[in-house]
């Protein structure tokens, strides 16, 4: 009997231990594959922001001066306009009308520092800014501390894609855009004749301005963003102007000045053996002064007014 009780005790203890043991945890679920951003080459459709229409297009001769800004942590991890993810550590930028992705050279006209960045996003839409730099690009150009800088932006070429660069003689595929469609009515181009090298601009489109007179040719080591900072010659002193038009006929410049009024002046520039008549106000010494002048001129009815940098 004693032996039987001992056997039953051992069996009972084993059953109790088995009952108290935790079941084996189920195997973890397989990892969920994350969507990989698909970078595509696109020009884009006309779109409207705050009442202004923008007209993306191929611009191989793009060369413009103006004010650069930069954008940071608020946009980290968000999709750019061509399907990539914004990375503040990358050398990228946003532009309103250039195709994407393309490489441009951005030169800080205040210190001569120059780098190549990849345009893969749309913006900036603050009036008076021509390009928005990633945080790292802004750091290399010494723009982070001040927030803005006087720059020159020059088109270099199409940027690399994971599948290769689209051949120049093929029409690149477009991707669907969430931006508003263009008006159904035909957009009239500016009938005023401008010099070769400056764009005829439908309302809202920025067009390239003449290069700063004292800017020396830049020695470019690479057309791809690689973080290399080149030091180039820039004018010893630059000023800001708000420009509303540039024409080859002085009559057209006078008509525009009379319509907008204010302190607009006509200045002549000799270019390629011809005379260009620019309607603008200035010189202005600070970004704040230029922003205020741009606001006044825009309020007078000129959506095409923009800030340029010149001597």
Report the pLDDT value the prediction gives residue 72, as an integer from 0 to 100: 81
Going by the DSSP 8-state scheme, the letter that residue 69 receives in this structure is E
Per-residue pLDDT at 172:
41
Q: 148 versus 24: which is more confidently predicted?
A: 148
Does 98 fall in a domain? yes
Does a cis peptide bond (omega within 30 degrees of 0) precede residue 32? Answer: no
- pTM metric for this prediction: 0.72
- Report residue 71 CA to chain centroid gap: 10
Condensed to tens digits (0 to 9), the pLDDT of residues 55-92 reads: 999 999 999 999 999 998 888 888 999 989 899 999 99
- Predicted confidence at residue 216, as pLDDT, reads 44
pLDDT at position 18: 45
Where b means 16+ CB within 10 Å and e means fewer, 240-275 reads bbbbbbbbbeeebbeebbeebeeebeeeeeebeeee
- Model confidence over 118-128: pLDDT tens digits? 999 999 998 89
The structural domain count of the chain equals 1
Residues 221-268 have pLDDT tens digits of 568 899 999 999 999 999 999 999 999 999 999 999 999 988 999 999
pLDDT in tens, 184-235: 322 222 322 222 223 333 333 333 444 444 444 444 456 889 999 999 999 9
Taking alpha carbons only, the member of 310, 311, 306 closest to residue 97 is 306
Q: What is the DSSP string of 104-157?
A: EEEEETTT-EEEEEEEEE----STT--EEE-HHHHHHTT-TTTS-EEEEEEEEE
Residue-number span of the structural domain to which 222 is assigned: 47-164+185-235
**Greater pLDDT, 205 or 95:** 95
Report the pLDDT value the prediction gives residue 173, as an integer from 0 to 100.
40
Q: Does the residue 280 lie in any domain?
A: no
Q: In a 3-state reduction of DSSP, which class is residue 162? A: coil
227 within some domain = yes
Residue 263 domain-assigned (yes or no): no
The CATH number linked to 130 is 2.40.40.10
Provide the token pair at 259. Answer: 């319509």
Q: How confident is the model at residue 303 (pLDDT cuts 50, 70, 90)?
A: confident
pLDDT of residue 22: 47
Please name which of 211, 118, 198 lies closest in space to residue 157, comparing C-alpha atoms.
118
**8 occurs within a structural domain:** no
pLDDT tens track for 144-176: 999 999 999 999 999 988 755 554 544 444 332
Residue 3 lies inside a defined structural domain of this protein = no
- Please give the structure tokens belonging to residue 229: 């900072």
pLDDT at 131: 97
Q: What is the pLDDT of residue 99?
A: 96
Question: Is residue 280 helix, strand or coil?
Answer: strand
Give the SS3 label for residue 265.
strand
**Does 245 fall in a domain?**
no
Domain assignment of residue 279, yes or no: no
Cβ atoms of 15 and 71 within 8 Å: the answer is: no
């Amino acid at each position: 009997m004693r032996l039987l009780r001992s056997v039953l005790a051992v069996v009972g203890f084993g059953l109790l231990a088995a009952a108290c043991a935790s079941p084996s945890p189920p195997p973890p679920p397989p990892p969920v594959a994350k969507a990989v951003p698909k970078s595509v080459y696109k020009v884009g459709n006309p779109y409207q922001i705050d009442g202004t229409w923008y007209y993306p297009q191929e611009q191989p001769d793009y060369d413009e001066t103006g004010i650069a800004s930069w954008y940071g942590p608020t946009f980290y991890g968000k999709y750019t306009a061509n399907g990539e993810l914004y990375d503040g550590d990358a050398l990228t930028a946003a532009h309103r009308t250039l195709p994407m992705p393309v490489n441009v050279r951005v030169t800080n006209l205040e210190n001569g520092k120059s780098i190549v960045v990849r345009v893969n996003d749309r913006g900036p839409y603050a009036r008076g800014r021509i390009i928005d730099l990633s945080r790292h690009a802004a750091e290399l150009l010494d723009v982070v501390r001040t927030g803005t800088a006087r720059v020159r932006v020059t088109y270099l070429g199409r940027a690399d894609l994971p599948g290769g660069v689209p051949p120049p003689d093929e029409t690149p595929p477009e991707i669907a855009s969430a931006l508003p469609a263009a008006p159904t009515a035909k957009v009239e181009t500016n009938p005023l004749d401008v010099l070769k090298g400056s764009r005829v601009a439908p309302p809202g489109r920025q067009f390239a301005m003449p290069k700063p007179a004292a800017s020396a040719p830049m020695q470019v080591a690479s057309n791809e963003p690689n973080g290399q900072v080149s030091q180039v010659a820039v004018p010893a002193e630059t000023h800001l102007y708000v420009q509303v038009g540039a024409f080859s006929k002085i009559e057209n410049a006078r008509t525009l000045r009379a319509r907008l009024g204010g302190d607009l002046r006509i200045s002549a520039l000799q270019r390629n053996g011809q005379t260009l008549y620019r309607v603008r106000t200035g010189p202005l010494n600070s970004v704040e002064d230029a922003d205020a002048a741009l606001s006044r001129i825009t309020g007078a009815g000129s959506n095409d007014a923009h800030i340029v940098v010149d001597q």
